[in-house]
Amino acid sequence: MTLARQWKTPKRAVMMAAALLASTSPLPVQAQAAAPDALTALRQRPPQDEVIYFLLPDRFANGDPSNDHGGYAPERLTSGFDPSDTDFYHGGDLAGVTERLDYIQGLGATAVWLAPIFKNKPVQTHGNYTGAAHHGYWITDFTAVDPHFGDEAAMRALVDAAHARGMKVYLDIVANHTADVIRYRECPDRPCEYRSRADYPYTRRGGLGGAAINAGFDGRDFSRLTRPDYAYSPYVPAGEEKAKVPAWLNDPIHYHNRGDSTFAGESSLDGDFAGLDDLLTEDPVVVQGMIDIFGGWIDKYGIDGYRIDTARHVNPAFWQAFIPAMLERARARGIPNFHIFGEVFDADPAVTARFTRVDAYPAVLDFPFQKTAVEVASGKAGTDALTRLFAADAVYAKGADTAAILPTFLGNHDMGRVGFFVKQTNPTADEAEILARVKLAHALMMFSRGVPTLYYGDEQGFAGAGGYGNSRQDMWAGQTAVYAAEHPIGGRQPAYSTEAPLYTAIAEMARIRAAEPALRRGRQVVRAAGDKPGLFALSRLDEPGGETLVLFNTSSAAVTAQVEVEPGSLRWQAVRGDCTTQASAPASYAVRIPPLDYLICKSAPQ
């Protein structure tokens, strides 16, 4: 979730899912859930074996138009439904995702990451901004599916259908904040500025000169924190006293109540995220409450992982309790490889790695990879930028082992799409060059260490105009003017086309990755790089002594070079492209890579 603007149908969904399985799945429809042995095999897969497909249910597929208004009155500012506005609901839902699982699997994805599907406050206003919760980050009921997306039956149908195909399901969760419900009496008609702990301590009402309250509260004994009006006078508006579920979320005592974060200093942890009610995650009630909530989703649905939103805006002690509890809950449910990764929106590995060392995160989204890979593939940076990036893997908690399970990605719903970034760097390039560079960026992601994470719609060539709403296109022919005006990379195709140039290119990469264990689990060694666009080479080494060499050319001219390899890698075979069959000498291999392309060469048994 970025700083900017962040502030369906049970019976029918099940019937639609069953019909889809009957018509497209090789498994018998009467066994919608995965067979026990197949489910066990799925859960034994380590995170680095996956290819993740991240989507916003609201923008991916509309399986049941009857829930477009979520059961609310059809007025735009009540239900939040307005398919012509980038920031409102467009009608996609869980039934639609279930309908399109074959499309996702055909791309080579093995796990589906859903943007939050919990019940949200449909419409919010903060300052001059009014929008709807199509993204799912304004949660009121943490225990229920948002009615715009379906219900418990639709959720269960999706998980069962995915597992039946051997696909995992990851949920996007939020523990930092809830929807904006709490108000402050001191600023009824404007956002409230942040009030610090030093100027507004917990033990004085409304500042240093105020009356003494919360006697003896030292930040640890929360039984002594009985009043929430130390910085502002928070209250819940009439009619919203029971807006949140579970019920403990309705009490302002469980929130920081200090005004809007400036995203600097202590406010980064204690401030409201653009008005969203910031949970007092130091409070044991909040800690246990969130463990109970999200442990319950594991118990109920047998999901396979959590992406955790706004990880950097929560105190480390919360994560140190929460994450081990989730992993234990998953193990008890028979899910030993439950994948947890946090959102730490920063391109510095020293920042992202801290969350694996201090906060107990097994992994974080690899924002440093995103920036570096896109700049290298765009021709903005020399290939040695990747060398520096991968050298920093040592700073993660378990070094290369942690780096191996970092979800790598090229763009997302907050920052924009890879196609936009490539176009921005190459404003005069023709369509063929843009397409080649976007393919190359995906190859860098698919064949280097980490867990490739595809952003829905990239495979259809969506690029958008960058930023928040412009990178959340409908997969279908919708009513949003800015989306309809776009010319996708590789040309416009029918909705959900499996013939789109980027779809077929990514699917080829995924097939190669699935067929070559070294490309998923092999130890990575950088072989060649330079300070300008051109050659980047890396080896993925497996235990028996095999070597898979991946060679990239980020320049518009062919590259010919000798690349160092393992001394025992004398004979070679092609996995993709034109690979010579013999090493030039022990430890030296001759390569020729076409412009803006890549090769994969594999050492052959001697």
Question: What is the set of active-site residues?
Answer: 309, 343
Residue 386 CA to residue 389 CA, distance in Å, equals 5
Residue 458 in tokens: 């990239």
Q: What is the dihedral of CA 55, 58, 59, 64, to 10 degrees?
A: 110
Residue 588 CA to residue 158 CA, distance in Å, equals 50
Residue with tokens 């001219």: 557
Residue 181 CA to residue 174 CA, distance in Å, equals 16
Give the end-to-end CA distance of the chain in Å, rounded to a whole number.
Answer: 51
Burial letters 333-363, b for 16+ CB under 10 A, else e: bebebbbbbbbbbbeebeebbbbbeebbbbb
Residue 517 in tokens: 């264990």
* Sign of the alpha-carbon torsion through 78, 83, 87, 92: positive
Contact 62, 93 (CB under 8 A): yes
Residue 207 identity: G
Residue 346 CA to residue 316 CA, distance in Å, equals 17
Full DSSP string of 391-425: HGGGGSTTTHHHHTTSEE-S-BTTTB-HHHHHHHH
Burial letters 274-307, b for 16+ CB under 10 A, else e: bbbbbbbbbbeebbebbbebbbebbeebbbbbbb
Residue 228 in tokens: 């929430």
Residue 519 in tokens: 């490309």
Q: What contacts 198, CB < 8 A, 6 or more positions away?
A: none
Residue with tokens 């009014």: 130
Name the strand (E) or helix (H) holding 305: strand 305-308
Residue 3 identity: L
Burial letters 185-220, b for 16+ CB under 10 A, else e: ebeeeebbebbeeeebbbbbbbeeeeeebbeebeee
Contact 177, 36 (CB under 8 A): no
